[in-house]
Structure 1
Amino acid sequence: MPLRRLAAALLCPVLLALGACGLKPASAFIPSVEPAGIQPVPGLKDARIRVSSKEFTEQLILGKIAVLALKAAGADAVDHTNAQGSVTFRKSITSGDNDLGWEYTGTGWITYLGQEDPIADPQKQFDAVRDMDLKRNHIAWLAPYAPFNNTYAMAVTSAAQKRYGIRDLADMAKVPAGQRTFCVAPEFFARNDGFRGMLQAYGLAYGSSVPAGNVRQMSEGVIYQAIKDNRCLFGEVTTTDGRIQALDLHPLDDSRHFFPIYNPAITVRESVLRAHPELTALFAKISPRLTTDVIRGLNSKVDVEGEDPAFVARDWMRKEGLVK
């Protein structure tokens, strides 16, 4: 899973204790909404449905969207968002403590189902994780999945993109070796499925075509600004991070499909879906609207502009005509 999710899972409990995580617990407040594009659903009237999410910005926003959608549909939505890490989030649903939440196909396939080889086609990856998770764990994945993909990427500035003509990871080879510099987090550097594996997939090799001195290891949190400040040409990012938009960075395409796909979809306990099949149609109104550009913008409103995830979720849903 992208490293910022792991880092958040490890750090936020400490930061919350110190009052320094930057967010109140996500369950502290839910703004009121009225039906609009989402209308009351008879089968969901007063149905008690408990919603969970992980603790990082994107998941908090997605969790709030789910809660607000359920409320607009007439359900008694219980906000249990802000679970600390993927394991806690997942266990709360499989154990029955919560009923649904957004999960990523790559996380489901690799982390929960133990599969080593990701599937490059997004629809086939979704179908595979949906079928296996339902059979093994009685967890349903609701179609359609959202089109945004929160995975790893290498990003460059607009100036670098124009200067070298680089739009894809394959274009790294166009850059003279001496100028082929990278900023990466230590764990991403060390993993076989991280930096070195990426180079190998695109015909480059650490220590030769990418000299060791050209690679700077640093905290993931400062890489974005380091790219902007030209401390390196290429920098490791996650594709939906709000700082990409704020700093005008450009993630490179991954034409050889090295990085796993992380499309989000609503995951729900099978028994809950059987009792409330209307959930599929409800979230089908929402998922297709969540493109990479949309989620980057929403993440940026929280991480760059300092807005509250609950209001960001509500305002977006109002803009889309889903609620009022």
Structure 2
Amino acid sequence: MIPALAAEVEHQGLKPASGSTSFGTAKSRALRPCVVLVAFLISLAILPACPRQPHVVVGCKNFTEQIILGELIAQQIENKTHLHVERRFYLGGTYIAHQSILAGRIDIYPEYTGTALTAVLKEPPGSDRKAVYGRVKSEYKQRFHLTLGPPLGFNDTFAIEIRGEDARRLHLQMLSQAAAYTPQWRAGFGYEFMERPDGYKGLVATYGLRFATPPRIMDLGLLTRTLKDHQVDVIAGNMTDGLIPALDLFVLEDDKHYFPPYEAVAVIREQTVAEHPEVTQALDDLAGNISDAEMRQLNYEVDGKKRDVKEVVREFLRSKGV
């Protein structure tokens, strides 16, 4: 390539006379931009190709627990491998996160088995943890060429929450008991809960629930505060929400076992596993290492105490010695 470019320079009359260090004629001065361009192209040909640093992209959805899990995965990979980790957090809901990994925009993200089963695979809810995990793992591999990591340990199932004062005053423990009072209650739910097959429609059908007004749809991060401030009377949150005890909220028991298990797992592209097997080895060390109580505390450290996510995750990993 270099000889060809040099020949083109000489052909265009751009080569200076022997011993000359400048282009003296008006024509040559007019052609100086061309010389610069050709010189630039030659420099590109001479420069060695710079190898791209091996890296993986970790994504997550747009609520606190997902940010914590995304950071947990990212730090674990950074600690246990030589790979550079790019973080693409706050991807939105399940659909956007799933489409992002299918398109190769991210390599890994945390998901929940129940969500994968019902919202992604569009299959009916199941109650057996192992069966749900096995089904999702098999279908993700066959349909999407995605690998499911082992469960991280906790089960973040949906939590139908009311104020603790109301639970004590009305002597409520179970969802089936609350059905007698919901016609006087205002409900607040996230958009995804309203739309997903294991969400609102199935819940009200299973328990025969009616509400005083159509449910108020809002961002997940606003639900608990809205309930505490008496703007709504019942919400669908997460079982591991750290603000449940902090705000004196009460989780009604799902006594009809409507909600499937939601075990947290890492979803990884098969191509990433093949190219970087050390990633799965690093994440396998996290298997079973986060209990429900520990995840709730991690959420509280960020949501309740307003601590930095990276610092909270760093401390947790250090305490676990993984």
Q: Verify same fold: TM over 0.5.
A: yes
Structure with the greater alpha carbon radius of gyration: 2
The question of whether the paired residues in 2 share the 8 Å contact of 1:245 and 1:297 is answered with no
Aligned residue in 1 for 2:272 = 272
Q: Where in structure 2 are the equivalents of 1:132-281 lying within 5 Å?
A: 132-149=139-156, 151-173=157-179, 177=181, 181-185=185-189, 194-195=199-200, 197-202=202-207, 204-206=208-210, 212=212, 217=216, 219=218, 222-229=222-229, 234-281=234-281
Deviation track 1:58-87 (CA, whole Å, cap 9, x = no partner) reads: 222111111111122133131223152244
Aligned residue in 1 for 2:55 = 48
3-state SS, counterpart of residue 314 of structure 1? helix
The 2-side partners of 1:194 and 1:88 are apart by 18
Cα deviation for residue 145 of structure 1 reads 4.4
Whether 1:293 aligns to 2:300 is no
Aligned residues: 267
The question of whether the paired residues in 2 share the 8 Å contact of 1:60 and 1:81 is answered with no
Cα deviation for residue 314 of structure 1 reads 0.9
Deviation track 1:6-53 (CA, whole Å, cap 9, x = no partner) reads: xxxxxxxxxxxxxxxxxxxxxxxxxxxxxxxxxxxxxxxx96333222
The question of whether the paired residues in 2 share the 8 Å contact of 1:52 and 1:82 is answered with yes
Cα deviation for residue 199 of structure 1 reads 3.4
Task: Tell me the amino acid that sits aligned with residue 54 of structure 1.
Answer: K
Q: Where in structure 2 are the equivalents of 1:57-96 lying within 5 Å?
A: 57-85=64-92, 86-96=94-104
The question of whether the paired residues in 2 share the 8 Å contact of 1:245 and 1:296 is answered with no
CA 1:286/1:239 → structure 2, altered by over 3 Å: closer, same or farther? same
Task: Tell me the amino acid that sits aligned with residue 99 of structure 1.
Answer: D
3-state SS, counterpart of residue 60 of structure 2? strand
Deviation track 1:126-170 (CA, whole Å, cap 9, x = no partner) reads: 111110010111101012343221x43221333443444433213
CA 1:133/1:223 → structure 2, altered by over 3 Å: closer, same or farther? closer
Aligned residue in 2 for 1:11 = none
The 1-side partners of 2:62 and 2:226 are apart by 25
Q: Percent identity?
A: 27
Unaligned runs of 5+ in 1: 1-45
CA 1:190/1:134 → structure 2, altered by over 3 Å: closer, same or farther? closer
3-state SS, counterpart of residue 89 of structure 2? strand
Q: TM-score, structure 2 length as denominator? A: 0.69
Question: Which structure is higher in RCO with an 8 Å CA cutoff and minimum separation 6?
Answer: 1
CA 1:165/1:289 → structure 2, altered by over 3 Å: closer, same or farther? farther
Deviation track 1:76-134 (CA, whole Å, cap 9, x = no partner) reads: 13122315224443334323343222122233223333x24122222211111110010
